[in-house]
Structure 1
């Protein structure tokens, strides 16, 4: 094998967030795939007293290992993982970059309010476990330390300038109904990236959990086209 791909999950999340895309790449390629769990994010760990550079360093070590052993390395980052992925792409010889629901800006309050109302309605109707926002945050709901949230904000603030230093082919995907990130986040990232080989792809019916959303097939096809598989 000469090709590898690193997946980086989001804040408070896990590799589950990109699992459908990971599975397709696993089935359609002979690539080495890595989807590490960032420090404090395992089921038996806590985010208490974590510093954001721990998350960056974990992803960086995985990337260094892949670059040492494989000729072609791609990076796929989701949400906070997209910020880390973009930063690493400015330091290392990453050939292609995929950014999913990436956090260049903070919460879209109006959309989040609508999503919370929908979550409450689903709970009343007995459909709470079908709600994607609940699925995304059920494990961490009410347990994420304020210190960890502050570290997440520091990460976004400190690494945001690196989007303007990205000079590798990049695919940016964003949900049109994302309750956590406004569309301007994806537009900012797209405009900032220096490489001319870049694509901004909106999924109008999707929320933050792009890989598990109603336009999953569209997302996967866009990624396959971009990665040429």
Structure 2
């Protein structure tokens, strides 16, 4: 009897998720410990304030069958919030097209202005057999790495994602995508983006591309930020 009930439950769950055409996921931000920054005499106190500011920040991932947009939500800003955004690029927006390799990043910084970067980077994920529940969603672990370019050089950092195969969209926070399910938690260096609320809809919502800023290539932007002190 239990086996029959499980089969029926899986059947109706599959039908429900197959009818989803759009959705929104709200993510919270946590900034964890980073030995290099936390122990630095100059940046350590600022980083500690950024950790407190992160608790006030949330993001939303808007998505439909064709595209997604990840951006920060409006909030009351104080110095701690400003520091948190500075350490994580929290003012930036990321636009992804599902059926192509096209991506767009809207950079918003008081330090060097506003830019639109078109790029085609896809992450090379390693899928693992480790699982955990995020709220009621069964998620699987995947890992990759990211490259960061700043005034001090080029650095690589590990990235961990927890994706949900039962939500059949391959989007995620911060422009990450390409997994067989929606990313509900992402850890990049010291920043963790965790899903707080998931709203799914049968309606196909409209999502606009970012359109504010000077259009540059990723290579051109890398040259610009090399001249600016970075954390």
Task: Give the TM-score of the pair, scaled to structure 1.
Answer: 0.33
Greater share of strand: 2
Greater share of helix: 1
Q: Which has the larger radius of gyration?
A: 2
Task: Give the TM-score of the pair, scaled to structure 2.
Answer: 0.33
